[in-house]
Amino acid sequence: MAKFFSQEWCDLYKEEINKSPDYEESAKTWEGDFFFIMTVGGPVTEDGYLYMDLFHGKCRSCEVVTDKTKFKPAFLISAPYGVWKKIATKQLDFIKALVTKQASLKGDMAKIMRYVKASNELVNCVLRVPTDWFD
């Protein structure tokens, strides 16, 4: 099992995304990169940044970032640990988290909404990663 938001976890997540035919099909025209930001709260004592580059149904990069200036992603999505865990375990729909402001988005929401199926498949890929949660 890999600790959530660790580099080991990112590597496993990238593998799951890249072997998912459902993700490949639903994101075949997607181009965009992200910072997924886990904000301080609960068991998390400092903000964590995960960079992900998604391109035409594949994940080109997934890495834990300590230098926030290393990348300038098109999208920044931030939420506290508890919200990320609910999204990752399908207790909370990702789009609903954004709409209800449990998670915040900087970037083109209209573009995200055109790829709801791909977003859902990214969550399905998380479910296939053996994850050691913080709590």
Residue 33, pLDDT > 90, answer yes
Q: What is the mean pLDDT of residues 70-76?
A: 97
Residue pLDDT, tens place only, 114-128: 999 999 999 999 999
CA atoms within 13 A of residue 54's CA, in its CB half-sphere: 30
DSSP the chain: -EETTSHHHHHHHHHHHHT-HHHHHHTTT-EEEEEEEEESBTTB-S-EEEEEEEETTEEEEEEEES-TTS---SEEEEEEHHHHHHHHTTSS-HHHHHHTTSSEEES-HHHHHTTHHHHHHHHHHHHTS-EE---
pLDDT on residue 119: 94
Domain ranges of the chain: 2-124
CATH homologous superfamily for the domain 2-124: SCP2 sterol-binding domain (3.30.1050.10)
Please write the tens of the pLDDT for every residue from 15-32: 999 999 999 999 999 999
pLDDT of 41: 86
86-107 pLDDT, tens digit per residue, is: 999 999 999 999 999 999 999 9
- Over residues 20-49, the mean pLDDT reads 96
- Residue 36: pLDDT above 90? yes
Over residues 54-70, the pLDDT tens digits come to 999 999 999 999 999 99
pTM of the model: 0.94
